[in-house]
């Protein structure tokens, strides 16, 4: 599965890299080192014929849901069963999107302990994951949400988990995003292909607490910070968790 990721690339860089307009609400985007379900994050869609980065909430909420709570159980969608589940089948034909990230996390079990691992390209560049989106109407208003599609893990990632997100490469983005294309070659796109240039490395166990969201998370426990790097700021224990509908 994919339950945490990071996005520290600036909005300007994302816009240039993916040739996308930017929703003004994303101007407040700050570096995120610990993105968790229910967070509102940039998603790439096609709107009026143009690519556009827009803020959506992680955890798909179908239009027929009674409330938003179902979203926390629908952060991922298995590629093998998309056609079987109503919540995903309709979205696959009409509401595909790309989730923009520059690293994803997975936990590796060693005995009784688990260590989070960062999966990212060596040069740190952002990449896109296959996703679906939905629009829900209710209290507190209209909310747009997304889910990340997963597939079987490739050989490199299987020691961490039996699932991994579906990576959509540059050559396939146009096909995936095209709202006029009701069918896509899902079987091909969801193949557990190798990710060339990707490195897996341990990071801090502090990642397990969603309140922690600082650059220090990228350093493995027990590894000293570089001499010229300032220590990450400490967050007060009493600091409240941000509201689910707050942007960033």
Could you list the active site residues? 2, 106
Question: Which 3 state secondary structure label does DSSP give 181?
Answer: coil
Residues in the chain: 248
Contact 146, 139 (CB under 8 A): no
Give how far Cα 196 sits from Cα of 134, 141, 190, Å. Answer: 32, 42, 16
Half-sphere exposure for 68 (CA within 13 Å, toward CB): 19
C-alpha span between 40 and 199 (Å, rounded):
27
C-alpha span between 5 and 36 (Å, rounded):
7
Would strands 50-58 and 141-152 be described as parallel, antiparallel, or unpaired? parallel
């Amino acid at each position: 599965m994919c339950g945490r990721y990071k996005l520290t690339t600036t909005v300007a860089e994302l816009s240039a890299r993916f040739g996308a307009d930017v929703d003004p609400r994303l101007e407040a985007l700050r570096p995120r080192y610990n993105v968790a379900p229910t967070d509102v994050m940039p998603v790439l869609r096609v709107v009026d014929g143009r690519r556009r980065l827009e803020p959506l909430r992680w955890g798909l909420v179908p239009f027929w849901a009674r409330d938003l709570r179902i979203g926390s159980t629908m952060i991922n969608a298995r590629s093998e069963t998309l056609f079987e589940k109503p919540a995903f089948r309709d979205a696959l034909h009409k509401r595909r999107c790309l989730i923009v990230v520059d690293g994803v996390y997975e936990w590796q079990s060693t005995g009784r302990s688990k260590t989070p691992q960062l999966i990212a390209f060596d040069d740190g560049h952002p990449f896109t994951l296959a996703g679906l989106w939905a629009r829900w109407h209710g209290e507190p208003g209209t909310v747009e949400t997304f889910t990340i599609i997963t597939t079987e893990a490739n050989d490199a990632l299987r020691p961490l988990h039996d699932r991994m997100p579906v990576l959509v490469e540059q050559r396939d983005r146009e096909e995936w995003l095209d709202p006029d294309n009701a069918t896509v070659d899902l079987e091909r796109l969801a193949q557990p292909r190798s990710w060339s240039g990707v490195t897996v490395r341990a990071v801090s166990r502090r990642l397990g607490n969603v309140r922690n969201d600082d650059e220090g998370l990228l350093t493995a426990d027990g590894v000293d910070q570089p001499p010229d790097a300032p220590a990450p700021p400490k967050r007060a224990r009493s600091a409240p968790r941000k509201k689910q509908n707050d942007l960033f």
